[in-house]
């Protein structure tokens, strides 16, 4: 089967959330014997250069470098229109021309799009089976953002969410089948009553790469992992350090908090001046840093879909304390595979349970890792995807095996 695959983040190397899922889909299709052509965007020449390793995982790829200024201008230009600004951000005429050329020069059996923001490149194409993998329903994320922003920014985020929801409904009608990462996201999609067919397949975790390293954690260390140029991560850490950290340090004055993630903003870097807080910035390998922590936290008030940071920590055998919103994207049971907290007091209580009780920590560590292996294995997820593709293509000889 010949597959044209379009995604909004160039999917190599797969080191951040927006790249991990599309990379694993592409790699799976290729390993299944299919010819995959990837069309995607890179923010700068360095990202495009780093992405050349994708050639080992697909037949061919096309990349359009957006730059940093033009995407922002395209977002602004769409503010007074009904077109979502995010679709302006993830658009270049060059990539549209490359996609058109691929469709003119090749006979594809399937078009697979990851993320609604780039569905615009093929939404009007007919005669080829098309799957739109929303991943997360981004409109709901923008609408949640609005409650965390001051006016008039709050109005802007709300309006973008409304425009995105309108676009999501239109796109759902233009694709043969639409998918999501979780059952909760699927419920949102189904509530639109717009898609012809819907389904879901979960994000996975590379449990061989993310495995316990055998090193002992620091007795006073807890950690947070995530890109620190991403607003939900920033908001989560700013609130955690303001509201939860003082409570923890009252009970454990020598507690250490490691904020592990690339591109920390100025406000996040300032957190490194607080007692016991270390902001690492970008690291070559997050695994040793996570392994040195007794636990990781994911105190995210804004969380849609699956948080890879939680899966990776669980796979490494490092217990997780997270918000209900973050836990909702993971197939795990609170108190058995991870711990959930909503208020500063609850976070303090749950974290101190793990720090004070090594036996409980070890039990949660083992059960969390086993849950990641059994319910968030990429092979299992890709089996679900195969069934979805076969349902659409309708010919077992042309569907993934």
pLDDT in tens, 65-104: 998 899 899 999 998 899 999 999 999 999 999 999 999 9
**How many domains are contained in the chain?**
2
Same domain for 360 and 382: no
pLDDT at residue 399, as a whole number:
38
Distance of CA 334 to the CA centre of its chain: 21
In a domain, 228, yes or no: yes
41 within a domain of the structure (yes/no): yes
Same domain, 166 and 30: yes
Is the domain of 348 the same as that of 384? no
Q: Indicate the pLDDT class of residue 398, thresholds 50, 70 and 90.
A: very low
32 and 127 housed in the same domain: yes
| Residue 359 shares a structural domain with residue 383 | no
Indicate if 247 and 351 belong to the same structural domain: yes
Domain identity same for 242 and 386? no
pLDDT, greater one: 380 or 350? 350
Q: Is the pLDDT of residue 209 over 80?
A: yes
Residue 401: per-residue pLDDT: 29
**Residue-wise pLDDT tens digits, 314-352:** 999 999 999 999 998 899 999 999 999 999 999 999 999
**Average pLDDT rounded to a whole number, residues 302-324:** 93
pLDDT digits (tens, 9 = 90+) for 264-275: 999 999 999 999
Q: Identify whether 291 is part of a domain.
A: yes
Domain range holding 250?
A: 221-375
Tell me the average pLDDT across 229-234.
92
Q: Which residue is associated with the tokens 């679709």?
A: 87
In a domain, 211, yes or no: no
User: Does any domain span residue 270?
Assistant: yes
Pair (184, 321) in one structural domain: no
Verify that 193 and 290 share a domain, yes or no. no
The CATH number given to whatever domain includes residue 43 is 3.40.50.2000
What's the CA gap between 204 and 373, in Å, rounded?
Answer: 9
User: In the structure, what pLDDT confidence band is assigned to residue 49 with cuts at 50, 70 and 90?
Assistant: very high
Query: What mean pLDDT value characterizes the chain?
Result: 94
Q: Distances in Å between the alpha carbon of 332 and those of 199, 294, 320, 349, 353? A: 20, 19, 11, 20, 19
| 382 shares a domain with 354 | no
Q: Does one domain contain both 297 and 194?
A: no
Co-location of 168 and 230 in the same domain: no
């Amino acid at each position: 089967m010949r597959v044209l695959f379009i995604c909004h983040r160039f999917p190599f190397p797969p080191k951040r959330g927006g790249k991990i899922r599309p990379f694993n889909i592409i790699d799976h299709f290729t390993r299944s014997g299919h010819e995959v052509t990837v069309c995607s965007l890179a923010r700068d020449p360095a990202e495009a250069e780093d992405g050349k390793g994708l050639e080992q995982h697909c037949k061919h790829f096309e990349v359009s470098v957006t730059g940093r200024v033009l995407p922002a201008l395209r977002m602004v230009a769409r503010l007074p229109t009904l077109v979502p600004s995010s679709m302006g951000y993830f658009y270049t005429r060059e990539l549209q021309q490359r996609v058109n050329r691929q469709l003119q020069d090749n006979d594809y059996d399937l078009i697979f799009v990851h993320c609604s923001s780039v569905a615009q490149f093929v939404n009007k194409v007919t005669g080829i089976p098309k799957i739109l993998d929303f991943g997360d329903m981004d409109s709901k994320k923008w609408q949640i953002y609005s409650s965390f922003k001051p006016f008039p920014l709050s109005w802007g985020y709300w309006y973008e969410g409304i425009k995105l929801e309108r676009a999501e409904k239109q796109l759902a009608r233009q694709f043969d089948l639409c998918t999501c990462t979780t059952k909760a996201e699927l419920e949102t999609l189904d509530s639109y009553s717009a898609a012809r067919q819907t389904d879901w397949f979960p994000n996975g975790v590379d449990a061989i790469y993310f495995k316990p390293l055998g090193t002992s954690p620091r007795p006073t260390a807890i950690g947070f992992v995530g890109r620190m140029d991403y607003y939900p991560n920033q908001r989560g850490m700013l609130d955690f350090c303001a509201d939860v950290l003082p409570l923890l340090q009252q009970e454990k004055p020598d507690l250490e908090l490691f904020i592990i993630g690339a591109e920390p903003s100025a406000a996040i870097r300032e957190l490194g001046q607080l007692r016991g807080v270390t902001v690492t910035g970008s690291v070559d390998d997050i695994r040793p840093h996570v392994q040195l922590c007794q636990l990781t936290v994911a105190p995210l008030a804004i969380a849609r879909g699956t948080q890879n940071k939680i899966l990776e920590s669980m796979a490494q055998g490092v217990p997780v304390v997270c918000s209900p919103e973050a836990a909702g994207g993971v197939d795990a049971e609170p108190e058995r595979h991870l711990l959930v907290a909503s208020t500063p007091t609850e976070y303090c209580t749950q974290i101190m349970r793990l720090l004070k009780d090594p036996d409980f920590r070890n039990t949660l560590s083992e059960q969390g890792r086993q849950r990641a292996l059994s319910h968030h294995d990429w092979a299992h997820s890709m089996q679900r995807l195969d069934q979805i593709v076969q349902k659409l293509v309708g010919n077992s000889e042309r569907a993934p095996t």
